[in-house]
Homo-oligomer: A and B are copies of this chain.
Amino acid sequence: MAAARVRNGGRPTLEEVAARAGVGRGTASRVINGSPRVSEATREAVQAAVAELGYVPNRAARALAGNRTDAIALVVPEPETRFFAEPYFSAIVRGVGAALADTEMQLLLTLAGNDRERRRLAQYLTAHRVDGVLLVAVHADDPLPELLEQLGMPCVISGARHANEPLASVDSDNFDGARAAVEHLITRGRRSVATITGRLEVYGAQRRLDGYRAALAAAGLPPDERLIAPADFTEEGGARAMRELLARRPHLDAVFAASDVMAAGARQVLREADRRIPDDVALIGFDDSVVARHMHPALTSVRQPIEEMGRRMAQLLLEEIAGRTGERPTVVLPTELVVRDSS
C-alpha cells in the first residue's frame, strides 16, 4: 500500500467528524455553523467529535462552496508616506485587528503602490477574493472606490472625500478639532492667529481650515487671508509656509498647523527667526504624534482617535457585509486637544 499523498496537511475533514459522531455530513456542518435546527444530543456528539479530532474547517473549501471568503482587505496606497508615517498606520491596523478579533474574518494587507499593482488589486477584489474592503488615505481622484461600488463590494473608507460622501466612511472631527485648537489660542489671549493648511484638495485639510475660520468668527476676530498659508503636510512645506507668514504678518502671535510635521517645520523657522515659543508665538499641531511629544518645547496638538477609527471602520464593514443595508453611514469621531508647552 503506497502511502497516499497527504492532502489538507493530514487534518481531519468534516466527513470524518460526522462519521465519528455517527451523523451525516450535513448535520455536522449544521452544528459547526451554529444552525438551530439540530437536536441537543446531536449537537453535543458532533462537538465532542470536533474536540477529539481537533477539527478545524478548511477555509478554501468553505470559500469555494459558500462563495465567500471570510476575509477583508485593508488597502493601503503605498506611496502615500504620510499615511505610513507613525502613528496612523499601526494604530489603524490595531483598531481593525481589535474589531476582528472575535470574528472568523481574516485581515489581508494590500499595498497598492504603482499603477501596475493597482491594476492587480482591482483584479483581486474583482475576483471575489475578499468579502469587503477598507480603504485608507484615498485620494479624491482615486477610481478604486467607484470601481468597488459598481462591483457591489462592501467598502468603508477612512476620511470622507467630500461633503457628500456616498460611501460608508469614518472620520475624525477635523472641523471641531481645528476650531477647538484655535479657540484655545484665542482664550489664551492670542489675537493674530495664523494657520498653515494641508493640501486643500484633501477634504480633511479643508475642514480644518473651516474650523480655524469658524473659531476666529466666533471670537469676533476679523478674517485675514494673509494669515492663511497653504502647505502640503510636509516638514519643508510647513517651514516654507511659516516663512511666508512671517514675511506677511511679522507680528503674528500664534500658529495653528494642520499637522504636527508641518508644525515641526514651522518651529524650525520660528527658532531661526528668534521667535520664542510660546512666549512670542504659540504653536499648535494636529495628530498628536510622537513628534509632538518629543518636540522642544513639547507641542500642543489635536489628537485623533485613530485606533478607534480603525475599529469603527471594521465594524461598519462587517455590518455592510452581513446586512448589505442600503445605508452608508458617515461616522465622525471627536478629537481631543492635548495641551503642552508650545501654547
Residues of B within 8 A of A113 (CB): 97, 101
Residues of B within 8 A of A74 (CB): 109
A8 touches B128 (CB 8 A): yes
Per-position 1/0 for A50-72, Cβ under 8 A of B: 00001011111111100101010
Minimum CB–CB distance for A197 against chain B, Å: 22
Bound CA–CA A61/B127 (angstroms): 12
Which of A7, A106, A107 has the most chain B CB within a 10 Å cutoff? A106
Contact A9/B94 with A61-B64, A108-B107 known, Cβ cut-off 8 Å: no
Q: Chain copies in the assembly?
A: 2
Minimum CB–CB distance for A67 against chain B, Å: 5
A109 touches B128 (CB 8 A): no
26 examples of A-B residue contacts, CB within 8 angstroms: A9-B67, A9-B128, A56-B123, A59-B129, A78-B94, A78-B97, A84-B90, A86-B90, A89-B93, A90-B90, A94-B111, A97-B109, A97-B113, A101-B117, A106-B108, A106-B110, A106-B129, A107-B110, A108-B109, A109-B109, A289-B290, A290-B290, A290-B291, A290-B294, A291-B294, A294-B294
Residue A252 interfacial (CB < 8 Å): no
Residue A331 interfacial (CB < 8 Å): no
Known contacts A54-B126, A60-B61; 18 additional CB pairs below 8 A are A8-B128, A9-B151, A11-B126, A56-B123, A58-B64, A58-B128, A59-B127, A60-B60, A60-B62, A71-B108, A86-B86, A86-B87, A106-B129, A107-B108, A107-B109, A109-B109, A289-B290, A291-B294
Contact A67/B290 with A89-B89, A97-B111, A107-B109 known, Cβ cut-off 8 Å: no
Residue A264 interfacial (CB < 8 Å): yes
Interface residue total, chain A, C-beta cutoff 8 A = 52
Residues of B within 8 A of A69 (CB): 60
A residues touching B (Cβ–Cβ < 8 Å)?
7-9, 11, 54, 56-64, 67, 69, 71, 74, 78, 84-87, 89-90, 93-94, 97-98, 101, 106-111, 113, 117, 123-124, 126-129, 151, 264, 289-291, 294-296
Bound CA–CA A97/B111 (angstroms): 6
Q: Choose one: B101, B127, B295; the contact of A56 (CB below 8 Å).
A: B127
Which of A11, A60, A64, A87 has the most chain B CB within a 10 Å cutoff? A60
A57 touches B127 (CB 8 A): yes
Instruction: Give me the 4 closest cross-chain CB pairs, A-B, nearest first.
Output: A86-B86, A60-B63, A296-B296, A56-B127
